[in-house]
């Protein structure tokens, strides 16, 4: 996993950001060691000594950057968030329509899950490690998504945008999870067919014939 | 939480099911203590001694029913599964159309999340405790859902049913999570309006105008 050199304004709880590239490289080694250990042995079975040992750094170095074990976990979750956002932005930058953007977004989300199947363990597992990290991750994700959809509001059906966003987050997360469970690897062709299926569902709705007109709210 | 007296064929890993009602009541006390401790202190911070103490039983009683701490965690996840299924079945039994069934299902799912906000901690946190428990939960849920949709297949659009099912699971899980994060409690009226919004999305699709015809797979 690549780690982001967050700037000082990121203000991640329990983190002292490094001042130099050399410091950042040490921090990355610690993050990589922690990510491997958390996703194999688990958060609670891993000690700060284990992380420092695996990263080949002194325990003191750990405390230079991280207040405690929860802080490095928090950093990993924030890093996933930043990496996923950056990749989604890159992969959708050429898209002309929102349809294409949603489709490319779903594909990239599935690819990310394939490359980093333990991301569920780290992100969803945060509900167990620290509920605040978990809630922050999803509420921030939703807020960012809602902001980005606002300028396209007239394209979407007339319901609360936040409900569309949470539905889309659920769809991407669960389809990527399905692929983690069922495919060791997925070809780009199969991925495209799968994304077509999902976009078909999101575009046409799940029912062949519209079963009932929606009652208008009073 | 109510606990299910699973029958012998349930074959839950690491569990010796009780033979009598008295035994079952002891088991329930242990489950209730474990559920409270896992969702407050966390799985790893809780010991079998803590659970037994809170349940006011001897440590030996714990081992009569559960092989270890992971086994009781597994039982809790399986119990959620059984309770959710039973409640969904009850709440949708009067429904005439699949539209109504999906809507009532979403409402019940949100109610369940409201009443048991720590269910995410236990179910999603299982990815951290034991990946097999986590995968079993969702693949079994999906298989059951797919089986129940099969007889209505002609009602749904022409895509792989499993993709519809994983989308629906994602939508319910994330909308219920949104409500956990944003509402301490939700009135039946607001719940109905929210479910209407979600059903509108699932029925009409997210876009106001169909942006593009789906390419047919070759």
- Residue A138: pLDDT band with limits 50, 70, 90: very high
**Residues A142, B178: C-beta atoms closer than 8 Å:** yes
pLDDT of res. B217: 41
Flag whether pLDDT at B8 surpasses 80.
Answer: no
pLDDT at B216 over 60: no
C-alpha dist (Å) from residue B34 to A152, B43, B56, B76: 47, 9, 12, 9
Q: What is the mean pLDDT of residues B44-73?
A: 96
Q: What is the pLDDT of residue A35?
A: 95
Q: What confidence tens digit (pLDDT) does each residue in B136-164 have?
A: 999 999 999 999 999 888 899 999 999 99
Q: Which residues, at least 6 apart from A49, have a Cβ–Cβ distance to it below 8 Å?
A: A59
Could you tell me which residues come within 8 angstroms of residue A50 by beta carbon, excluding any fewer than 6 positions away?
A33, A37, A41
Provide the pLDDT for residue B28.
96
Residues B12-40 have pLDDT tens digits of: 889 999 989 999 999 999 999 999 999 98
Instruction: Please give the residue of chain B at the shortest CA–CA distance from A176.
Output: B166
- Cβ separation of B174 and A167 shorter than 8 Å? yes
Residue A214 pLDDT more than 80? no
Higher-confidence residue of B7 and B108: namely B108
Answer whether residue B210 shows pLDDT above 80: no
pLDDT for residue A61: 96
pLDDT bucket at A171, cuts 50 / 70 / 90? very high
Q: A193 vs A42, A107, A181, A187, B216, CA distance in Å?
A: 35, 10, 18, 10, 9
Contact A201 B177 (CB under 8 A): no
Q: What's the ipTM? A: 0.91
Give the CA distances from residue B217 to residues A102, A200, B158, in Å, rounded to whole numbers and listed in that order.
19, 12, 12
Among left, alpha and beta (phi > 0; psi -120 to 50; other), residue A120 is: alpha
Residue A217 has pLDDT above 70, yes or no: no
Tell me which chain A residues have a C-beta less than 8 angstroms from the C-beta of B202. Answer: 167, 205-207
Domains A8-71 and A80-204 are alike in CATH topology: no
Distance from CA of B172 to the nearest CA of A (A): 8
Taking CB atoms and an 8 Å limit, are B42 and A45 in contact across chains? Answer: no
Q: Which CATH class is domain B77-204?
A: mainly alpha
State the pTM of this model. 0.92
Interface of B with A in 101-160 (CB under 8 A): 102, 120-121, 124-125, 127-129, 131, 134-135, 138-139, 142, 154-160
The CATH code that applies to domain A8-71 is 1.10.10.60
- Residues whose CB falls within 8 Å of the CB of residue A138, separated by 6 or more in sequence, listed in order: A169, B177, B181
Task: Give the residue from chain A lying closest to B125, CA to CA.
Answer: A125
pLDDT of B81 over the 70 cut: yes
Residues of A in contact with B101 (CB under 8 A): none
pLDDT class of A218 with cuts at 50, 70, 90: very low
CA B144, distance to chain mean position in Å, is: 12
Q: Considering CB atoms only, which of B138, B196, B209 is closest to A214?
A: B196
Taking 70 as the threshold, does the pLDDT of residue A156 lie above it?
A: yes
Residues B82-139: tens digit of each pLDDT: 999 999 999 999 999 999 999 999 999 999 999 998 888 899 988 888 889 999 999 9
Domain ranges of chain B: 8-71, 77-204
Is residue B213's pLDDT more than 70?
no
What pLDDT shows up at residue A32?
A: 96
- Which residue of A157, A170, A206 is in closest CB contact with B207? A157
Cβ distance A174 to B175 less than 8 Å, yes or no, reads no
Please report how many Cα atoms fall inside a 13 Å half-sphere around the Cα of residue A69, on the Cβ side: 19
> Please, what is the Cα angle at A51 between A48 and A54, to 5 degrees?
150
Confirm if A164 and A142 have CB atoms less than 8 A apart. no
CB distance from A174 to chain B under 8 Å?
A: yes
**What pLDDT score was predicted for residue B212?**
56
Q: What is the mean pLDDT of chain A?
A: 91
Q: Within a 10 A sphere around the Cβ of B42, how many other Cβ atoms?
A: 18
Q: Would the pLDDT of A10 be above 90?
A: no
A19-78 confidence digits (pLDDT tens): 899 999 999 999 999 999 998 888 888 999 999 999 999 999 999 999 999 999 999 999
- Distance from the A22 Cα atom to the nearest Cα atom in chain B, whole angstroms: 32
pLDDT for B76 beyond 50 = yes
DSSP structure string for A161-190: HHHHHHHHHHHHHHHHHHHHHH-S---HHH
- Closest partner CB to B121 (pick from A128, A162, A202): A128
Q: How many CB pairs under 8 A join A and B?
A: 207
How close is the nearest chain B Cα to the Cα of A43, in Å? 8
Tell me which of B218 and B177 has the higher pLDDT. B177
Pick the CATH number of A80-204 from 1.20.1410, 1.10.10, 1.10.287, 1.10.357: 1.10.357
Interchain contact, A158 vs B208, CB within 8 Å: yes
Query: In chain A, which residue's Cα lies nearest the Cα of B167?
Result: A171
- B136: nearest CA partner in chain A: A181
> Of A163-167, B43-47, B98-102, B129-133, which has the strongest mean pLDDT?
A163-167
pLDDT at residue A179 in the model: 96
Is 70 exceeded by the pLDDT of residue B218? Answer: no
């Amino acid at each position: 996993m690549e780690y982001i050199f967050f700037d000082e304004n990121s203000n991640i709880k329990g983190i002292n950001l490094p001042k130099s590239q050399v410091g950042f490289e040490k921090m990355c080694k610690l993050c990589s060691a922690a990510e491997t250990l958390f996703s194999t042995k688990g958060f609670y079975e891993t000690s700060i000594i284990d992380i420092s040992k695996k990263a080949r750094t002194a325990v003191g170095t750990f405390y230079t950057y991280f207040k405690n074990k929860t802080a490095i976990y928090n950093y990993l979750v924030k890093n996933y968030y930043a990496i996923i956002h950056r990749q989604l932005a890159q992969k959708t930058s050429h898209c002309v329509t929102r349809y294409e953007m949603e489709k490319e977004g779903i594909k990239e989300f599935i690819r990310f899950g394939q490359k980093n199947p333990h991301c569920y363990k780290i992100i969803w597992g945060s509900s167990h490690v620290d509920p605040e990290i978990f809630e922050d991750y999803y509420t921030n994700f939703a807020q960012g998504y809602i902001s980005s959809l606002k300028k396209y509001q007239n394209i979407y059906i007339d319901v609360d945008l936040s409900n569309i966003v949470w539905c889309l987050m659920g769809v991407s997360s669960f389809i990527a999870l399905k692929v983690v469970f069922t495919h060791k690897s997925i070809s780009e062709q199969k991925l495209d067919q799968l994304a077509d299926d999902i976009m078909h569902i999101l575009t046409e709705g799940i029912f062949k014939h519209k079963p009932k007109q929606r009652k208008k709210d009073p």
